[in-house]
Amino acid sequence: MPQVNPTPSPLPDIEEVLAAAHVVSLPLKVRFRGVTHREAVILTGPREHSEFSPFLEYGDAEASAWLRCALEAGWSGFPDPVRAAVPVNATVPAVPPAEVASVLGRYDAAHTVKVKVAERGQDLHDDVARVAEVRRLLPAAHLRVDANGGWGHDEALAALEALAGFSLQYAEQPVPGVEPLAALREELDRRQLPVLIAADEAVRKESDPLAVARLGAADLIVVKAQPLGGAARALQIVSDAGLPAVVSSALDSSVGTRVGAALAAALPRLPYACGLATVSLFGGDVAAEPYVAAHGELDLRRVAADPDLLRRYRAPAERATWWFERLRRCRELLVN
């Protein structure tokens, strides 16, 4: 594939963006982040198709970074890759143990598995049972857990003590915020609990994404192209942090996931499998050939939105209006 550098280019006019925009509502196979459909705007840029899909509850200031990513990918292109494929993990949502096998069956290979924990309405018993079932089914796989900041300090300590016996690769964002993460990591070291800490929300939702590295709050960082404002900025953050990085998706369609793969493919080092296999959680997609892993890896093929699928999954008119208004507001923030 041709190598394209995401060199800065002038932001396209809002009318050009809206003319290239398709609002879709994609069904999910399982409830994820409390939703059964994922709404997104697919843009047809001159370089690539791209995606703008900040979660519905995000304010315009936060969502504008997602738009910057979509405009960078669609109008400037992707960074040059240093590898031909990107290893990815399977993701197990907060489902009962009886459903774990079915979720894993959607992946053609699961060398690494991320298990969601700390789900609202569940408890540690549920988390342990879910992780235990994954370990039973895949005794040789790398296991990691993701709490999305859902535990307090004491809850996280109890949970990681209970889960440490499953040989976790790392625990992602067990507590919210940078300072709490640093305090937890210090206490884990004191107790000699061998669990690495990965920072996700403490990187992408903080005003200073480098605070995690400066305070020694994590062993590695999780970066996502959309929330961080595009591949170019995410690459700079990883370089400045000096920590190993895992690239993850934000529950993107195939088009959005391809942007994440471009970021992962451009990283100088990639010691861990990436969280970019979430297209397998969708019951519908915008690409005729969904961007799913083969043998646990994503290749770097071009991903284009299919016009028929854009029509099939077109969101209702009132939702399209809502998204177009959001696009206008976020585009205005990018120039102010």
**Which residues participate in catalysis according to the annotation?**
116, 224
Contact 40, 54 (CB under 8 A): no
Whether 332 has a binding-site annotation, put simply, is no
3-state secondary structure labels for all residues of the chain? CCCCCCCCCCCCCHHHHHHCEEEEEEEEEEEECCEEEEEEEEEECCCCEEEECCCCCCCHHHHHHHHHHHHHHHHCCCCCCCCCEEEECEEECCCCHHHHHHHHCCCCCCCEEEEECCCCCCCHHHHHHHHHHHHHHCCCCEEEEECCCCCCHHHHHHHHHHHHHHCEEEEECCCCCHHHHHHHHHHHHHCCCCCCEEECHHHHCCCCCCHHHHCCCCCEEEECCCCCCCHHHHHHHHHHHCCCEEEECCCCCHHHHHHHHHHHHHCCCCCCCEECCHHHHECCCCCCCCCCCECCEEECCCCCCCHHHHHHCECCHHHHHHHHHHHHHHHHHHHC
Whether 126 has a binding-site annotation, put simply, is no
Whether 189 has a binding-site annotation, put simply, is no
Feature table: binding site for Mg(2+): 146, 172, 200
Binding site listing = 146, 172, 200
